[in-house]
Structure 1
Amino acid sequence: MSSDATNENGPDLTQGVAIESFGDSGLQAGHVGDDRVMIARVGDEFLAVDAACTHYHGPLDEGLIVGDTVRCPWHHACFSLRTGAALRAPGLSPVGCWSTAVRDGKVFVLQRLAPSSGSIEVPGQAPQKIVIVGGGAAGFAAAERLRQLGYAGNLTMLSDDDAAPVDRPNLSKDYLAGSAPEDWLPLRDSAFYADQRIDLRLKVSVVRIHTATQEVELSDGSKVPYDRLLLATGAEPVRLPIPGMDLPHVHTLRSLADSRAIIAGAANARRVVVVGASFIGLEVAASLRTRGLEVHVVAPDRRPMERVLGPEMGDFVRQLHEEHGVVFHLENTISAIDANGVSLKAGGRVDADLVVVGAGVRPRLALAEQAGLAIDRGVTVDAYLQTSVPGIFAAGDIARWPDPHSGAAIRAEHWVVAQRQGQTAAMNMIGGREKFDAVPFFWSQHYDVPINYVGHAESWDAISVDGSIEGRDCVLRYLRDGRVLAVASIYRDIDSLRAEVEMESDSV
Structure 2
Amino acid sequence: MSEDPQSPIGPDFSQGVALADLAAAGKISGRVGEEEVLVVVCDEKIFAVGAHCTHYHAPLIDGLAEDGVLRCPWHHALFDLATGEALHAPAFAPLACWEIEREGDKVFVRKRLKSSARAPKVEPFETSLENIVIIGAGAAAFAAAEQLRRKGYGGKIVMVSDDADPPVDRPNLSKDYLAGNAPEEWLPLGTDEFDLEREVDLHLGARATQLDPDKRTVTLADGTTLAYDRLLLATGAEPIRLSIPGADLPHVRTLRSLMDCRAIIERLPTASRAVVLGASFIGLEVAASLRARGLDVHVVAPEKRPMERVLGPQIGDFVRSLHERHGVVFHLDDVATGVTERQVALRSGSVLDADLVVCGVGVRPRLTLAEAAGLVLDRGVVVDAFLETSAPGVFAAGDIARWPDPHSGKNIRVEHWNVAERQGQIAALNMLGARRVFTAVPFFWSQHYDVVINYVGHAEAWDEIEVDGDIASRDCLLTYKENGRVMAVASIFRDIDSLRAEIAMERMPA
Smaller-chain TM-score range? over 0.9
Other-structure match for 2:138: 136
Distance 1:494 1:377, change over 3 A: same
Question: How many equivalent pairs are there?
Answer: 505
What is the CA-CA distance between 1:230 and the residue it aligns to?
A: 0.2
Alignment of 1:223-262 (within 5 A): 223-262=225-264
What is the CA-CA distance between 1:267 and the residue it aligns to?
A: 1.6
Contact 2:42 2:66 survives alignment (8 Å): no
Other-structure match for 2:268: 266
Contact 1:119 1:150 survives alignment (8 Å): no
Distance 1:263 1:6, change over 3 A: closer
Contact 1:131 1:156 survives alignment (8 Å): yes
What is the CA-CA distance between 1:14 and the residue it aligns to?
A: 1.0
Query: Is 1:199–2:180 an aligned residue pair?
Result: no
Alignment of 1:244-323 (within 5 A): 244-323=246-325
Contact 1:122 1:150 survives alignment (8 Å): no
What is the CA-CA distance between 1:44 and the residue it aligns to?
A: 2.9
1:426 to 420, 425, 428: 428
Other-structure match for 1:81: 81
What is the CA-CA distance between 1:124 and the residue it aligns to?
A: 4.2
Distance 1:84 1:8, change over 3 A: closer
Q: Distance in 2 between matches of 1:7 and 1:309?
A: 35
Other-structure match for 2:104: 104
Matched residue type, 2:227: P
Q: Distance in 2 between matches of 1:330 and 1:24?
A: 51
Q: Distance in 2 between matches of 1:6 and 1:353?
A: 46
**More deviation in 396-405 or 263-272?**
263-272
Other-structure match for 2:44: 44
Matched residue type, 1:33: G
What is the CA-CA distance between 1:89 and the residue it aligns to?
A: 0.2
Q: After TM superposition, what 4+ stretches of structure 1 lie above 6 angstroms from structure 2?
A: none
SS in structure 1 opposite 2:504?
helix
What is the CA-CA distance between 1:122 and the residue it aligns to?
A: 3.6
Q: Distance in 2 between matches of 1:147 and 1:105?
A: 43
Query: Is 1:407–2:409 an aligned residue pair?
Result: yes
Q: In the TM superposition, what whole-angstrom CA distance separates every residue of 1:385-415 from its partner, at most 9, and x where no partner exists?
A: 0000110000000000000000000000000
Contact 2:232 2:394 survives alignment (8 Å): yes
Contact 1:79 1:85 survives alignment (8 Å): yes
Contact 2:8 2:29 survives alignment (8 Å): no
Alignment of 1:7-46 (within 5 A): 9-22=9-22, 26-46=26-46
Gaps of 5+ in 1: none
Matched residue type, 1:426: A
What is the CA-CA distance between 1:66 and the residue it aligns to?
A: 2.1
Q: Distance in 2 between matches of 1:128 and 1:319?
A: 55
Other-structure match for 2:383: 381
Matched residue type, 1:22: L
Matched residue type, 2:100: T
Other-structure match for 1:469: 471
Q: Distance in 2 between matches of 1:442 and 1:299?
A: 22
Contact 2:92 2:191 survives alignment (8 Å): no
| RMSD between superposed Cα atoms in Å | 1.7
Distance 1:24 1:314, change over 3 A: farther
Gaps of 5+ in 2: none
What is the CA-CA distance between 1:18 and the residue it aligns to?
A: 1.5
Contact 2:50 2:97 survives alignment (8 Å): yes
Identity of matched residues, %: 59
Distance 1:43 1:296, change over 3 A: same
Q: Distance in 2 between matches of 1:216 and 1:291?
A: 44
Other-structure match for 1:362: 364
Other-structure match for 1:333: 335
Q: Distance in 2 between matches of 1:145 and 1:78?
A: 15
SS in structure 2 opposite 1:10?
coil
Q: Distance in 2 between matches of 1:104 and 1:330?
A: 66
Distance 1:81 1:28, change over 3 A: same
SS in structure 2 opposite 1:401?
strand
Q: In the TM superposition, what whole-angstrom CA distance separates every residue of 1:261-298 from its partner, at most 9, and x where no partner exists?
A: 11111221010000000000000000000000000000
